[in-house]
Structure 1
Amino acid sequence: MRQVLTPSLRFEEFQDNWELKNLKDIFELKYGKDHKHLNQGIYPMLGSGGIMRYVDSYLYNQPSVLIGRKGTIDKPLFITTPFWTVDTLFYTVIKQGQEPYFVYSLAQTINWYKYNEATGVPSLNTSGIYSVPVYVPLIKEQKKIASFLTSVDRKISQLTEKYRLLKEYKKGVMQQIFSQQLRFKDEDGKAFPEWEQDRLDSFIERVNNPVDVEKAKEYREIGIRCHGKGLFHKDKKSGEELGNKRVFWVHPNALIINIVFAWERAVAVTSEHENGFIASHRFPMFIPKEGKSDLDYLLYFFLSPKGEYLLNLASPGGAGRNKTLGQAEFSKLKVTLPSLKEQQKVAQFFQSIDKKIDEVAQQVELTKQFKKGLLQQMFV
């Protein structure tokens, strides 16, 4: 079989075959150094996991591909500003006739775990890295590829920054809304009524429907991710596997809390998708009292800094499983809520922000997948 010496996706002005080399022909590896003597400064100090801190001196001040020596070995980094690396991260001196960003892109196509030298913590050594075979084009084509991929990376960076700013905006506006610094008006432009303070159980009520477990029947439980990341569905279990565990039918359209991790905002809202699912006694469910509260508003409230504070207040004890939400304390929490119509307006506002955040997150992921496809096709 003839060996392919050109990539499947290529700029049409280039026709020459790519040359087989080893990485020792492309760059020289340099070890990172101890940093304990360094003071705080402006230069990034990096380990295999990324930036650790900023220091007052640098090891190298030219564009360099950084390759994990120990720990994270499969995520090469690229840097163009002066930097310091610790001993878990190699830096490279790119040889003459090689385009640094092309070399970085090339490094992203390598299966680094194939060259792992350790049975425990993943590790690479210089001889293993130097022996890696690679195909490279002439410098002019390298520069063209580098320029194109740089533009793709720039787009990823811009979208990632947009995502970060939207998250920051949501966080900031949450603080303003739930502290009443920012208020909404009704459809006629008039102010909504003043917020009402009362015990939480005057706005919501608990619902529970115990399951009469049958040994031969199959059941599916739900779980709640921390930090407001929603529900997940567990695998099926037989009634016999559940044993004497106390379980309840999940009530659709209810506020549900994991009492063990409420202090880490393990709060969610159920939907019709959870019909027929079950939850243990550690997942109490609540529904709004008619005319008093809105389900989506309640979720956003408990995911806000103010709501997180109240969840912690009702969860005495140390961190971890000892910091359990007291359900009586939860019910007695003093909360200040706006009128139902203003709650609904607040919830709709946050839903619109979340929609934008999700759209940008999807754009980031699609652009990353696009780049991944390019790397597979633009390199031999």
Structure 2
Amino acid sequence: MTQTDHQNEPKLRFPGFDTAWEEKNLGEFFTFKNGVNADKSAYGKGRKFINVLDIISDTPITYDTIIGSVEISDKEFEKNEVRYGDILFQRSSETREEVGQSNVYLDQERTATFGGFVIRGRPITEIEPEYFHNLLKTARVRKDMTARSGGSTRYNVGQESLSAVPITIAPTLNEQRKIAGFAGAMDAKIAQLERKKALVEDYKKGCMQQLFSQKIRFKDDIGNDFPDWEEKRLGGIVSIKKGHQLNRDDMIEGAEYPVINGGISASGYTDTFNTKGSVITVSEGGNSCGYVDWQPHDFWLGGHCYALPLKDSVSHAGYLLQFLKNAQSGIMALRVGSGLPNIQKRDLEKLPVALPHPDEQRKIADFLSALDRKIDLISQELTHARSFKQGLLQQMFV
């Protein structure tokens, strides 16, 4: 690749290409159409149906990766068909940053349809689909696209707005294909890592089911069987403590201590803590209530979260974390409330826990934690691969 300082050209270009890049609008390459709005009873069967979850995937959409389905007539399907090279855009979102996210359909053999929260971009001239797939993810295009969104409770982007989005593109299909080939190779690496991670996660899930159902048992260090497991209530093993709510004004950017509340990640950071680390937490309220996590460092426990410090040394925190992770769907089933869901402390305290001998707890925890470390390492590789791709592509587009 070669460096360039010319205006309206990327910093990196493949050798042999020196023609100036062109200023265009998306409407010069695509026509746009909104998707299918079917009766509720029509979903879950019929034809493959692209929705927002498919669009936000890291990798291009193919027939086999599509999650949903919908039953519609042949005539309706023909009007709303998605075929190779079509670009799908997210039409609506609760946050402005997500509006207009896009993905490309790259199945050359089978077609699908798409939903009402999606806009289809159908090429009206010859394009390189994977080139546009990456072009539309660049910061410059995303900034312009989100700026064109509107709405009060939800943000929306329309067909006319998409058509007017300005883009700067490589002037020849050959150069576009070179860039697309590089990006495709990176996507293949990312997809390989995602498959590797999914395989280890599935393996761990299977091991947890076998271990906690006692179909597989560890033996002690001299090869003898451990004693039978006991069943206890969670409230007999841990002290369930609820935190104190912080306002947004109390959050401090760049502060040391994470604020752990009702979500699956930190709500923000603050300069003090109210809970020591090395403890299990369970989200108490919100859409993620029942989510089980481990806090290795000191943190601020929010008002929509429980901390579960052990009452004694008989129980192994690592074992209990893995047991509760395995039981997470059951914990989430404890939710009450029609508005903002929550989990009552008294209901969490009644949760049955299967408790092996302390040494068997340790063996189970060590085995499953080793798999967690393997998953974390693959996740780090994924993060690095995505950052590497993003960094290079930023220099290969204007």
Deviations 1:128-160 (A, max 9, x none): 524524232311111111111111112222222
Q: Does the CA contact (< 8 Å) of 2:32 and 2:159 recur in 1?
A: no
Indicate whether 1:98 and 2:124 are aligned. no
- Secondary structure of the residue that 2:131 maps to in structure 1? helix
Distance 1:29 1:52, change over 3 A: farther
Residue number among 144, 148, 163 corresponding to 2:178 in the alignment: 144
- With over 3 angstroms needed to count, the CA separation of the structure-2 counterparts of 1:339 and 1:372, relative to structure 1, is same
Q: How many angstroms does 1:194 deviate by?
A: 2.5
**Cα distance between partner residues in 2 of 1:28 and 1:321:** 43
Cα contact 2:218–2:226 (8 A) shared by 1: yes
Within 2, Cα distance between the matches of 1:28 and 1:270? 48
Task: Work out which of the residue numbers 281, 286, 298 in structure 1 matches 2:309.
Answer: 286
Scaled by the length of structure 1, the TM-score of the pair is: 0.74
Query: Which 5+ residue runs of structure 1 have no aligned equivalent?
Result: 209-219, 238-247
Q: CA RMSD in A?
A: 3.9
Q: How do residues 117-196 of structure 1 correspond to structure 2 at under 5 angstroms?
A: 118-120=150-152, 121-126=155-160, 129-130=163-164, 132-196=166-230
Q: Tell me if 1:297 matches 2:353.
A: no
Question: What's the CA shift string for 1:61-100, capped at 9, x where partnerless?
Answer: 3321223444453311100231223454332332444212
Q: Helix, strand or coil: the match of 2:121?
A: strand
Q: Counterpart of 2:227 in 1: which secondary structure?
A: coil
SS in 2 for 1:286: coil
Name the residue aligned to 1:46.
51
Partner residue of 1:374? 392
User: Which of residues 364, 372, 379 in structure 2 aligns to 1:346?
Assistant: 364
TM-score, length-scaled by structure 2: 0.71
Whichever of the two has the greater Rg, that structure is 1
Corresponding residue number in structure 2 for 1:84: 113
Deviations 1:177-216 (A, max 9, x none): 11111212334444333323455566x36499xxxxxxxx
Q: Helix, strand or coil: the match of 2:169?
A: strand
Identity of aligned residues (%): 27
Match for residue 290 of structure 2 among 265, 274, 283? 265
Which residue number in structure 2 is paired with residue 360 of structure 1? 378
Asked if the contact 1:64–1:92 (Cα under 8 Å) also holds between the matched residues in 2, the reply is yes
The total of aligned residue pairs comes to 346
Aligned to 1:75: 101
Deviation of 1:336 (Å): 3.0
Q: How does 1:198-347 map to 2 (within 5 A)?
A: 198=232, 204=237, 206=239, 224-225=260-261, 229=264, 235-236=270-271, 250=275, 253-255=278-280, 264-268=289-293, 273-274=297-298, 283=306, 285-290=308-313, 292-305=314-327, 309=330, 318=337, 323-326=343-346, 330=349, 335-347=353-365
For the structure 1 residues 255 and 137, does the alpha-carbon distance in structure 2 shift closer, same or farther, using more than 3 Å as the test? closer
Q: Deviations over 1:234-277 (max 9, x none)?
A: 5258xxxxxxxxxx96455455556668x943555565x329x7
**Structure-2 change in CA distance of 1:43 and 1:196 (3 Å):** closer
Are the equivalent residues in 2 in contact too, given 1:47–1:85 (CA < 8 A)? no
Distance in 2 (alpha carbons) for counterparts of 1:230 and 1:118: 28
Instruction: Give CA-to-partner distance per residue, 1:159-183, whole Å, 9 cap, x none.
Output: 2233233333323322221111121
Give the AA of the match of 1:370: F
Task: Report the Cα distance in structure 1 between the residues aligned to 2:341 and 2:312, rounded to whole angstroms.
Answer: 31
Unaligned 5+ segments in structure 2 are 56-65, 72-76, 242-255
CA contact (8 A) 2:240 2:306 kept: no
Quote how far apart the aligned CAs of 1:325 are: 1.5
2-structure distance, mates of 1:28, 1:207? 56
Q: How many angstroms apart in 2 are the aligned matches of 1:366 and 1:343?
A: 34
The separation in 1 between residues aligned to 2:132 and 2:283, in whole angstroms, is 48
